[in-house]
Amino acid sequence: MSQFNIAELGDNFKKASESQGIEIIPYIDGFEQLYIFFTILGKMFGFVGSDIKSKVDILRKHCTEDTNKERYVCVNDMLAYEKEIGVAEVNTRKFSSGSRTLLRLHRALLFIHKMFIEIVSTSESDISSHIVEAYDDSLAKFHPFYIRGSARFAMRHGVPLREDLLHKVFGKDADESVVAEDIKTAAVYIKTVYDQVEKLYTHYDFHELP
């Protein structure tokens, strides 16, 4: 497995935020880093990592292999195109719409932003309750009861102590102050991208895609 790189994560979302209409490739490249992050946290977060990976793979295929891949360069063009041809809600074995797929990543991105903020803003060693709070304030509202219960259990029992998490993800020799600044920087770009994509989904009335 590749090593998690917080600077690369921030750079990918920075590039996505600076592009017109939110460029998809750097967006999903950022999620590739987040997949590594959740995988490092262990099997209790495996369900998050596998969900991210499957959706990244769908979007990357649209961007690189679709017969109309030029319509999948940025989020705005993708949403407009799939609305125009009426496939935004489609999710079958043969075709999963980019709009529906990216919406799931978009919802997760707010949780990830809140999670990063909690990691750097608290001095408490046990941060599990803070991560659960971040989940409840974001992604939980889109999950059915049984998934919410499983997710909260994983966070309460699977989130390492703050110092152990930082060592596990960034290495024992990492400078905590430098790591904290890198996380804050990445969080800023993540939130910028989230806000812009949120506006696009509102514009196309796609927030309730099944």
Q: Is 138 helix (H, G, I), strand (E, B) or coil?
A: coil
pLDDT at 103 over 80: yes
8 A C-beta contact, residue 118 and residue 133:
yes
Q: Is the dihedral of CA 172, 176, 181, 184 positive or negative?
A: positive
As to burial, measured by CB atoms within 10 angstroms (0-12 exposed, 13-18 middle, 19+ buried), residue 165 is: middle
pLDDT tens-digit profile of 157-169?
889 999 999 999 9
pLDDT tens-digit profile of 25-71?
999 999 999 999 999 988 777 767 888 999 999 999 999 999 999 99
At what angle are helices 128-136 and 98-121 packed, to 10 degrees?
140
Percent of the chain whose predicted confidence (pLDDT) is above 90: 80
8 A C-beta contact, residue 125 and residue 161:
yes
Q: In the prediction, which pLDDT does 47 show?
A: 67
Alpha carbons 155 and 104: distance in angstroms, whole number: 19
Alpha carbons 155 and 206: distance in angstroms, whole number: 29
Alpha carbons 196 and 189: distance in angstroms, whole number: 11
DSSP state of 20: T
Q: In the prediction, which pLDDT does 108 show?
A: 94
- Of the pLDDT bands very low, low, confident and very high (cuts 50, 70, 90), residue 191 is very high
The mean pLDDT value for 115-131 works out to 93
201, two tokens: 């989904």
Q: Is 91 helix (H, G, I), strand (E, B) or coil?
A: strand
Q: In the prediction, which pLDDT does 29 show?
A: 98
At what angle are helices 162-170 and 176-203 packed, to 10 degrees?
90
Q: In the prediction, which pLDDT does 21 show?
A: 94
As to burial, measured by CB atoms within 10 angstroms (0-12 exposed, 13-18 middle, 19+ buried), residue 7 is: exposed
Judged by average pLDDT, the poorest of 47-51, 106-110, 177-181 is: 47-51
Q: In the prediction, which pLDDT does 35 show?
A: 95
Q: In the prediction, which pLDDT does 158 show?
A: 87
Tell me the average pLDDT of the chain: 93
Alpha carbons 150 and 153: distance in angstroms, whole number: 5
Q: In the prediction, which pLDDT does 1 show?
A: 58
- Of the pLDDT bands very low, low, confident and very high (cuts 50, 70, 90), residue 14 is very high
pTM: 0.94
Residue type, 11: D
161, two tokens: 């102590």
Q: In the prediction, which pLDDT does 49 show?
A: 81
